[in-house]
Amino acid sequence: MKKLSIVKSLFVLVTMFVLVVTVTYAWIAYSESIDGGTISAGEIDYTYGGEFNDGSEIIYPSKNLLSTAITVNNQSSIDTQLRLIVTYTLIDDASTTQKIYKDDGNDDLKVVFDSTFVVDGDYWYYQALDHSIETMGVLSLISSIYYDGNDSSNEYASQNVDINLLIQVKQADNVSWSELATYDFETGNPT
């Protein structure tokens, strides 16, 4: 009889233990919450326009290298951001290098922006680093790119030059940058 009583007690104890664990787990699972947030759902939709002059043309200081201005047409259904980077051939007395345009005193190239751009690191951001483009329609980006005659001189004579413009766009929040367009201008002696 004592054995039966001990077995019943152990059974009740195990049952109570399982019940307590189950109720506690259910209470914890029930009280868990996920912090709310917003997710922008939509589509990034840009087209671009503009082009460089024919690469076989002879270029000279202050000659606009664009035959048509660089523009984008924003038809996105969500807020976006845009940035660009310009690289070009820099020739000095000792060497030829590819340089990133930052509009500093060491640049032989000049870029005329039609919109407000802010430089940060190597990139030019449309209006500001965190500014969202909310308006739809055509945005004028660059109207002119040229080598400045005050900074560039005879070292460029008969040399090949290369100018690259990379435009990137992304959703305004928490998404990585995607390439929209790459423009490439390369010229040298006409053939």
Within a domain: 139: yes
Within a domain: 104: yes
Within a domain: 18: no
Within a domain: 60: yes
Within a domain: 31: no
Strand partners, 186: 162
Strand partners, 84: 124, 167
What pLDDT score does 141 carry?
Answer: 94
More confident residue, 87 or 28: 87
Q: Is the pLDDT of residue 143 over 50?
A: yes
Distances in Å between the Cα of 97 and the Cα atoms of 87, 101, 108 are: 10, 12, 12
Range of the domain at 97: 46-187
Within a domain: 79: yes
pTM surpassing 0.85? no
More confident residue, 5 or 78: 78
For the domain that residue 68 is a member of, what is the CATH number?
A: 2.60.40
More confident residue, 3 or 88: 88
Residue 136 carries which side chain, given as an amino acid letter?
A: M
pLDDT per residue over 41-80, tens digit each?
578 889 999 988 887 788 888 889 999 999 999 998 888 8
Within a domain: 124: yes
Residue 72 carries which side chain, given as an amino acid letter?
A: V
Residue 88: Cβ-neighbour burial (10 angstroms; 0-12, 13-18, 19+) = buried
CA–CA dist 166, 172 (Å, integer): 19
Within a domain: 10: no
Q: How many domains does the chain have?
A: 1
Tokens of 177: 């940058």
